[in-house]
Chain A
């Protein structure tokens, strides 16, 4: 559809300004958000970032094919172990006990008959390759869930605070200040340590802790955006007509203010995964043998003097984590440029 001027003859206008087709998608997300999305797809950094993330998505989905579990109905997240001896075994050593079925890609790709420990084993003979592959799913699961939960809490909290303003806002934001005094990692560490004996070693205590001390940033951002949106005329109009507070907030204000927060949240997944890995590196979190990158890295702490020999305990899970986070960071970096208000209006 082309835009027309009311006078009918717009040949001069068309000659001066090239008219642009507006697709259904642009109409759906709105011109400003459309500009952001297109901007993201045009920057090399964000393309690299996106492809890294997509690679991880594919690995996560195909995990049972890439690294099949020992028995079809066994819990795939508990890493198969080849015996119990403490010294790590080097890469390529043969799989002796508790051998999982050989994946289909292995023989054609390597020409090797025997299924080996591709990335070696950690102490206690847990297979590092399995850790790396199945850890992808844990990373996505924790990252997505924690981010989603913090986002929901932060948005609700921040919007209530901004919408009512005044004293309510003041009190609610001071509470946020208080919660942000302690370094978030330390606060999460403490809460996880309190919760672990009560809930048991699993993903839950650490995730709860990360959620409890992770939502304040979103509350602050959405509050700022809502403060500007709530002054708009359509909000005033809705109020004049007598629409209920909750309806104005959830139907008129939040949908118009949420987009920047949403995008920022989607990019915080890398940070969440990093924090999770850090906590499990410190030794709080999942049961030993649970597919989780931070845990393998924590094994390395016992072998610091011999890391020249056992480098593969650090390097493979470390790289898996670094590239995962880097994917989100590259995307985030591009996004910062696109969201920069000084860039607005340029294509």
Chain B
């Protein structure tokens, strides 16, 4: 167990180093002038000033020197302030959003986290339920229908599904709207009287005793939650179903049946817990995937998370910003994957021993 965790921990710096190298390589495709957004806010107009900036921040130096500066930043000779330096959490300046990339992430990430938290339950529970039911009724009508559903589910691109949801629930019925909050409630949230305990709007609303804001926030998340759950159900269904089928064929299940246990107990107490092991991994990966920002879904529903911010910056060719997001997302994913792996080892003794 301990060796497993240690070995897994040793991999983390390696992966982090790898990700920074990849992102740095993409940065090197930019011109020195574009790269200056890593260190300075404003973009000087006259050519001499541009040259000065390039020289001061060493943007024309060999790549290993630039990589080091990119990691640790550069001290300004005059004011002594440090500029840039991703190791210190300075990801540069976003020219399209007119604010430091850090600020942008700080504003956006709570929304992504909020969406992730509320998506977990419907995504995982319904997916598992579908899978277990179709394994129990193997080759029955439920199984066939579920199989058809899962093929349709995997074929529906997120954005087509999302646009169709918008068409029915927003344009036609007017039940749910895209975005984060209704405008006037957003103003309430931005007032200093609304205390931000967690930065997650749904939880803050409850803590501030504003049920109306809570409900409004949830109703704005309904369509993204449906979309994200729907596309994952197909995968959950498939994995749960096959794992459950395999478990039901095992001898200990036959034993349980032979000794006269009611079928309910055989399925839900004996078979299901063992069948859940691969599903736990899948659930881990899915949640980690949600945390990394769901670019398309957030963009379709105009949801202000990190995914849609990254997409917007990419489309506006603001590469420094996108790469800043990539560093952040890469970091989150590495840590989250580590946590998942360790939890998995805790849950499944077989992993611990191998």
Contact = CB atoms under 8 A, between A and B. Distances in A.
B330 interface: yes
A190 B314 contact: yes
B18 A174 contact: yes
B74 interface: no
A282 B296 contact: yes
B125 interface: no
Query: DSSP class of B's interface residues: helix, strand, loop or mixed?
Result: helix
A326 B148 CA distance: 11
Contact of B18 (A175, A189, A311): A175
A contact patch SS: helix
A304 interface: yes
Contacts of B19: 178, 181-182
Interface in B312-330: 313-315, 317, 319, 322-323, 326, 329-330
Given A281-B296, A329-B155, A182 B330 contact: yes
Contacts of B159: 277-278, 281, 297
B240 interface: no
A274 interface: yes
Contacts of A277: 157, 159
A194 B35 CA distance: 12
A190 B322 contact: yes
B329 A182 contact: yes
Interface in A261-313: 270, 274, 277-278, 281-284, 297, 300-301, 304-309, 311
- Counting chain A CB atoms within 10 Å of each CB, the highest count among B155, B172, B295 belongs to B155
B166 to A, nearest CB: 6
Contact of A181 (B15, B154, B156, B171): B15
B280 interface: no
Given A282-B299, A283-B315, A297 B18 contact: no
A326 B152 contact: yes
Contacts of A195: 29
Contacts of A329: 151, 154-155
Interface string B250-280: 0000000000000000000000000000000
Given A178-B22, A181-B19, A278 B155 contact: no
Contacts of A222: none
B167 interface: yes
B120 interface: no
B155 A307 contact: no
Interface in A185-205: 185-187, 189-198
A278 B160 CA distance: 9
B339 to A, nearest CB: 15
A270 B22 CA distance: 27
B33 interface: no
B329 A326 contact: no
Contact of B326 (A187, A270, A323, A330): A187
Nearest to A281: B159
A196 B18 contact: no
B329 A186 contact: yes
A20 B171 CA distance: 62
B100 to A, nearest CB: 19
A304 B292 contact: no
Nearest to A314: B163
Nearest to A196: B317
Contacts of A190: 26, 314, 319, 322-323, 326
Given A179-B22, A181-B18, A282-B311, A307 B167 contact: yes
Given A174-B18, A297-B163, A182 B296 contact: no
Contact of B29 (A175, A194, A322): A194
Nearest to A311: B167
B226 to A, nearest CB: 16
B333 interface: yes
A187 B314 CA distance: 11
Contacts of B219: none
Contacts of B289: 183
Contacts of B164: 314-315, 318
A306 B319 CA distance: 33
B167 A297 contact: no
A283 B323 CA distance: 18
Interface in A310-334: 311, 314-315, 318, 321-323, 325-326, 329-330, 333
A252 B299 CA distance: 49
Contacts of B295: 183, 185-186, 189, 282
B248 interface: no
B344 interface: no
B307 to A, nearest CB: 8
B329 to A, nearest CB: 7
A301 B300 contact: yes
Given A181-B18, A183-B289, A193 B319 contact: yes
Contact of A192 (B155, B172, B314, B323): B314
A308 B326 contact: no
B310 interface: yes
A182 B322 contact: no
B84 interface: no
Contacts of A333: 147, 151
A75 interface: no
Contact of B171 (A177, A194, A304): A304
B30 interface: yes
B333 A182 contact: yes
Interface in B144-181: 147, 151-152, 154-160, 163-164, 166-167, 170-172, 178
A308 B151 CA distance: 27
A176 to B, nearest CB: 10
B14 interface: yes
A191 B26 contact: yes
Interface string A26-50: 0000000000000000000100000
Given A179-B22, A314-B167, A186 B310 contact: yes
18 contacts: A175-B18, A178-B14, A178-B22, A181-B330, A182-B330, A182-B333, A183-B329, A185-B295, A274-B157, A282-B295, A297-B159, A297-B163, A301-B300, A304-B178, A305-B171, A307-B167, A314-B160, A323-B155
Interface of A: 45, 174-175, 177-179, 181-183, 185-187, 189-198, 270, 274, 277-278, 281-284, 297, 300-301, 304-309, 311, 314-315, 318, 321-323, 325-326, 329-330, 333
